[in-house]
Amino acid sequence: MPRHTREPGLLPRPLAILGALALVAGTGAAIRLLPADGAPPPAAPPPVARPSPSLSPVVSEEPPPTTYVTFVDTAGEPEFDLPALSRRTGVRQYALGHLVAGGEGCVPTWTGSPAPGKPIGRLRALGGDAVLVFGGPGGRELATTCTRPGALATAYRRIVGTYDAAAVDFEVRDSADKAAVLRRARAIHTLQQERDLRVSFTLPLRPGGLSPADAAMLRTTRRAGADIGTVNLLAALGRSTAHRIRLGRVATAVRAARVQIARAQDLDDPREAWERIALTPVLAGGSDLGASDARTLAAYATRHRLAWLSLRGAEPPQGVSRILWRALS
């Protein structure tokens, strides 16, 4: 019989059958090795260059918890004992004020005496610290009076170095003085280039938030290169309305200030400004703040993760203060 001619490139029939059987067996084995959902295992991704840990450290996005800061008026309380106060209350963070212009305008001077030296060192030994507050109601802030080039930064540097301060605050009352605002901003920038220094501003809170001059001052300061970590809002508590209504008005004013602070700090979302805000109610009388008010304030500060909560003015009953100490210390 004539033999069939096989086209070039085709296997003989017996070999083709054997090859097909081997392929079926191999495919069945491969299917048994797939995951239960039948999807093929993902291909290994190509290697990606990893950044150096030293160049890209892992930083937590969570802001630190709200703390309570006790303000000490060095003029009104010249015999204050920070370590004893800290041991008694459990509060570790303090703000000491005020430092104002003395001498020919470029000499920082405490409004009270003696100057707080050793008490700060003993407080640090307990794990606490103190912020130094420039300005305030008892004198003129150095930026207003110290106009010689470089002298303002030297004056700030002297105080920061003397107390080895990690943080300073400016209780500003000269926001309309554009020259003083710019001098202070440049001096702050100079110091922050030299050392780690946290800077905050204490400003009065109005029903509509910050005054236009204060908002502009924050914006000018940031644009001059200074890093403003916190804006502390002084909120006066009036006596003419019920406590709940007064606190509600404060909350409304804080929300308005939050938007202004976000704009001044060039933040994309106003919600990012919460952790840059501190709140300091100012009491006209000790009865202005009750126990329920203190709990409300502590809960508000914690919920919005404010930088800190403090009190100024008249001293409330110790039980009221204790609520804040224990909730936020």
Please state the pTM of the whole predicted model: 0.81
Determine the pLDDT at residue 64. Answer: 81
Q: How far is Cα 151 from Cα 131, in angstroms, rounded to an integer? A: 22
Number of Cβ atoms within 10 Å of the Cβ of 212: 12
CB-side exposure of 119: number of CA atoms within 13 Å? 23
67-328: which CATH topology?
TIM Barrel (3.20.20)
Q: What is the DSSP letter of 323?
A: H
Rounded CA gap, 227 and 197, in Å? 9
Tell me, what's the pLDDT at 238?
74
List the chain pLDDT tens, one digit each, 329 residues: 444 444 444 444 443 433 443 433 444 433 333 333 444 444 444 444 434 333 333 334 567 899 999 999 988 887 789 999 999 999 999 999 999 999 889 999 999 767 787 889 999 999 999 999 999 999 999 999 999 989 999 999 999 999 999 999 999 999 999 999 999 999 999 999 999 999 999 999 999 999 999 999 999 999 999 999 999 999 998 776 677 788 999 999 999 999 999 999 999 999 999 999 999 999 999 999 999 999 999 999 999 999 999 999 999 999 999 999 999 97
- Between CA 315 and CA 150 the distance in angstroms is 40
List the one residue out of 170, 223, 227 whose CA is nearest residue 195: 227
pLDDT score of 18: 35
Helix runs in the chain, H state only = 13-32, 82-89, 118-125, 142-145, 151-163, 178-194, 212-223, 243-264, 291-303, 318-328
Q: Report the helix count and the strand count for the chain, using DSSP H and E.
A: 10, 10
How many other C-beta atoms are found inside a 10 Å radius of the C-beta of residue 76?
Answer: 10
Please state, in angstroms and rounded to a whole number, the distance separating the CA atoms of residues 263 and 214. Answer: 12
3-state SS class at 302: helix
In whole angstroms, give the CA distance from residue 65 to residue 308. 8
Per-residue confidence (pLDDT) for residue 115, from 0 to 100: 79
pLDDT at 19: 43
